[in-house]
Amino acid sequence: MDFDVANDRSIRFLNALGGASTSRVLNLFRIAQDNVDNPEHLQKPLFLSPVINKAFLIKHRTRTDESYLFASPRAVTTKIVAPFDPTDLRAGGRALFVEQRGYAESLRQLGHYNTETLERDLSVLRLLHAVPSLDPFLLREHLRNNKIEVAPSYFSISQGDQERMHQFVSEELSKLVILAGGGGEDSSNRLVSAMLSNEIDEKLEPLRMTLGLTGNDFREGVFSWRGFLYYKWSMGKFWPDVMGVLREINSIQPHGSLMTEQKVFLGAARRNIIELVRDNGNHVTKALSVYDASFLDLVQNQSPKTFRDFLLSAPYMFLELGEKLGAISHIVSFWRYRFPLGSRQTIDGDELATIFQDFSSSFGERLKEEYSHIKKPVVIDVTAA
């Protein structure tokens, strides 16, 4: 069947996104362009299908008119968009949701798979679908933890950010050395290395015994623990830019004349986005404070119960926190990509409405007004093929 092109905004937003990736959008086509002469990128691909390996992956809030595509309700899914013409995203593309009805066969057709390559890429998509955002650190750690080795080029983490992230984690986890049975700098380094590796092995056994967790609970808890550490570090990195971006969103004026309904829509959208960022930011801060309090109890009082209970609930909290933080991070990173600091903010009303619609939908909010006069490309569900 064809998607209702009046309701699908993905391609319009990808056209505005251009060459960037964010925590909600993994731009594999641009990554492929940037690494055309990188042999490791070709030897260790994220997906074996050349079509899927040059597509867009999007963390997508499921709309009411899309719910029939799934066997059970879901708030967030992963959307694959393969452009018809990657040099002109306005031409539209073919779209598929992970785990929609007939998903495996639809992916086979879209990616031109044989059985062996299909099974491998289904496994990778299943792993990417399980994480709440497309942050490169989380993707890399989750894939490595599941024995999937791909080229580093797929995860655009700068060397400086990697070093700063590892230093942040080192400072946090060094407080656990005594509890984990260590006592010096070497013990601290071993614990940090074990926590940051993709293996949950005997090096962490003293910590597992201290917390009193079973192997599977400990494995899932440690991955979520890493995620919380990444979110805490990431929050400190991008949050200082949030207020500046919100001020620009509130003040930006598109060029050209606007119809009355456009002015009303943009005004409502500005207020909506600012309120959503504020409310979800407060939620993120509270969730991180739960982590901080339970970790502090573990370190200062050497009482593992609070932190053990936190780790047992962490997988659920991790998903919700990742969605909210990913939405805020997406707004900041996209806005700064589209409007670099010091640049002239030139945009027309239709594109600004498209951006505002995407920002709101990333929190699960659907704005009441949408514009039928905005030209929309065709996006085809592959089950129609």
Mean pLDDT, all residues of the chain: 80
Task: Decide if pLDDT at 133 tops 80.
Answer: yes
Task: Decide if pLDDT at 382 tops 60.
Answer: no
Q: Which of 235-239, 320-324, 362-366 has the lowest mean pLDDT?
A: 362-366
Mean pLDDT, residues 208-235 taken together: 81
Of 154, 123, 126, 199, the residue nearest 54 (C-alpha): 154
Higher pLDDT, 51 or 302: 51
Q: How far is CA 142 from the centre of its chain?
A: 12
CB 232 within 8 A of CB 332: no
Distance between CA atoms of residues 277 and 275, nearest Å: 6
Distance between CA atoms of residues 313 and 19, nearest Å: 37
User: Are β-strands 379-381 and 93-97 bridged in parallel, bridged antiparallel, or unpaired?
Assistant: parallel
**Quick one: pLDDT at residue 200?**
61
Helices (H) and strands (E) in the chain, counts: 14, 5
Distance between CA atoms of residues 205 and 141, nearest Å: 20
Distance between CA atoms of residues 100 and 94, nearest Å: 14
The DSSP H or E segment spanning 78 is: strand 76-83
CB 93 within 8 A of CB 1: no
CB 208 within 8 A of CB 221: no
Task: Decide if pLDDT at 7 tops 70.
Answer: no
Q: Please list, residue by residue across 186-215, b when 16 or more beta carbons sit within 10 angstroms of its beta carbon and e when fewer do.
A: ebbebbbebbeeeebeeebebbbebbebee
Mean pLDDT, residues 8-16 taken together: 57
Q: What is the pLDDT of residues 76-117, one digit of tens each?
A: 889 998 888 777 767 777 889 999 999 999 999 999 998 889
**Tokens encoding 311:** 């780790």
Distance between CA atoms of residues 229 and 107, nearest Å: 34
User: Are β-strands 25-27 and 379-381 bridged in parallel, bridged antiparallel, or unpaired?
Assistant: unpaired
**Angle, to 10 degrees, between the axis of helix 215-238 and the axis of helix 159-173?**
120
Q: Grade residue 141 by pLDDT with cuts at 50, 70 and 90.
A: confident
Q: What angle do CA 17, 21, 25 make, to 5 degrees?
A: 85
Residues β-bridged to residue 81: 56, 95
Distance between CA atoms of residues 176 and 195, nearest Å: 11
Provide, rounded to the nearest whole percent, the portion of the chain with pLDDT above 70: 81
Q: What is the pLDDT of residues 56-83, one digit of tens each?
A: 898 887 877 788 888 887 778 899 988 8
> Beta-carbon neighbour count of residue 158 at 10 Å?
9
CB 81 within 8 A of CB 382: no
> Beta-carbon neighbour count of residue 286 at 10 Å?
10
Q: What is the pLDDT of residues 338-366, one digit of tens each?
A: 888 888 888 988 889 888 988 887 776 54
**Tokens encoding 98:** 């992970």
